[in-house]
Each structure stands twice: as C-alpha cells, then as structure tokens.
C-alpha cells in the first residue's frame, strides 16, 4: 500500500523524499534546501499553527537541537530534523553561543545582535577577534533522537558590518583563509565550508544508509 504523506516516507521511484525541519527560520530552511539539492523536498513548520513553539531551555547546542527535533516529532509522522546553531566569540567567553538569536533581547533583529557583538568587541585588535560558527543537527522520530551531527567553521570577527548576503552574523564573520565576510562571499562559497554544510554532510551519509 502506498505510504501517506509522511515527512520522511521512503520514496517510491518517482517520489522525492521529504524532510521536515523543526524551525521557523526561513534562512536556515533555504540554506538546507539549497545544500541538499532539488532531489529532496525540504519544508519547515512555518504556518503549522497546531505545532508547539519549542522553548530553547538548553545550555548547549546539542540540548536545544534535541529539544526542537523531539518536540516537533511527537506531533508528526516521520523524521524531523532540527538545527541549533550560533556564533562563539572567544574574547566574550564564547558568547553569544546558544543565545545567538536573542543576544540583544527577546524578539530582537539580526542587526541588533550584530551591532551588540561589534560594540562589545570595539577596540579589540585582530589577534583577539577569533570566533566560530557552530551547528548541531538532531534527527528525531516519535519523540526520540536518532542521531546528532555537528559542524564548526573557525574564523575572525570583522570590525564593521560588511556585505548584504546571508543572514544573522554573516556580515561580521570572516571564515578562516578569507578576508571577506560571509555577507560578502557568494552563498555557494559559504555552502562549501559553513558549520551547517559540515553538519549536513554527515546527516546526508546517515540518511543515505537509512533509506
């Protein structure tokens, strides 16, 4: 019998596999869809009012990623993928870390977060501007985590906002080996090296073994 519309139903020959992301961050969804390619249909929980808002009460990327994947997977069939990610600045004791999305306060904008990091780092020379992006992906089904994958990209903070590309802290982060920020580098370049692409590479392998 043909499987019904589940988030990760095994594809019939002409059916594209589907992945549901436990996020309402369209930037993450777009990046993950772009990196997984057109052979997979990636959707997120935007507009799914019946699904709960998952509180990110964890203090690590792993904990928050699991909370989101497990929390949403209790309400849908099939596997759910969650991304918890953020920026760690060494001179700020690895802040904003898991608080990256709300560093300047609840409901704040990417611009406000970025401005706050730059303000706190004002006057710090290049030698102490090391930073990294981290991403932990969790896959869950029926409320249980099946696997975790993580990815990191080391780099340095710029002294000012540069570039229009990407989202979040991209315009102030220069990945190692580059003088341009993720906001200035083409998206395709970001996708070859980002924390998210590194975690996603591992997820891809896991998923290929499973399907």
Binding residues (CB under 6 A) for ligand IMP: these are 25, 56, 84-87, 100-101, 110, 113, 133, 166-170, 194, 196
Nearer to ligand IMP, 9 or 161 (CB): 161
Q: Which of the residues 84, 110, 150, 170 is marked catalytic?
A: 84
Nearer to ligand IMP, 23 or 73 (CB): 23
Nearer to ligand IMP, 106 or 125 (CB): 106
CB of 70 to ligand IMP, least distance (A): 15
Report DSSP state, residue 134. E
Residue nearest to ligand IMP (CB): 168
Nearer to ligand IMP, 11 or 102 (CB): 102
Name the residue with tokens 């290049």. 126
Give which of 69, 19, 67, 62 is closest to 44, Cα–Cα: 19
Q: What's the rounded Cα separation, in Å, for the pair 196 and 167?
A: 13
CB of 52 to ligand IMP, least distance (A): 15
Q: How far is CA 104 from CA 45, 51, 60, 173, in A?
A: 25, 27, 19, 18
126 in catalytic set: no
Q: Is 208 exposed, middle or buried (0-12, 13-18, 19+ CB in 10 A)?
A: exposed
CB of 166 to ligand IMP, least distance (A): 5
Q: How far is CA 59 from CA 91, 99, 147, in A?
A: 19, 9, 19
Q: Which residues are catalytic?
A: 84
């Amino acid at each position: 019998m043909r499987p019904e519309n589940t988030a990760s139903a095994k594809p019939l020959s002409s059916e594209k596999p589907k992945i549901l992301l436990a996020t309402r961050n369209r930037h993450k969804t777009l990046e993950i869809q772009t990196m997984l390619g057109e052979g997979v249909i990636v959707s997120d929980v935007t507009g799914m009012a019946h699904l709960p808002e998952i509180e990110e009460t964890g203090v690590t990327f792993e904990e928050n990623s699991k909370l989101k994947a497990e929390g949403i997977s209790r309400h849908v069939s099939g596997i759910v993928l969650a991304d918890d990610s953020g920026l760690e600045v060494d001179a700020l004791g690895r802040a904003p870390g898991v608080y990256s999305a709300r560093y300047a306060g609840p409901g704040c904008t990417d611009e406000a977060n970025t401005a706050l990091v730059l303000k706190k780092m004002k006057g710090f020379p290049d030698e102490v501007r090391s930073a990294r992006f981290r991403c932990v992906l969790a896959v869950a089904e029926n409320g249980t985590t099946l696997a975790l994958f993580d990815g990191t990209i080391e780099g340095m903070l710029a002294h000012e906002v540069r570039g229009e590309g990407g989202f979040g802290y991209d315009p102030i982060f220069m990945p190692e080996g580059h003088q341009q920020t993720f906001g200035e580098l083409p998206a395709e370049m970001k996708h070859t090296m980002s924390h998210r692409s590194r975690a996603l590479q591992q997820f891809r392998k896991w998923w290929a073994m499973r399907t």
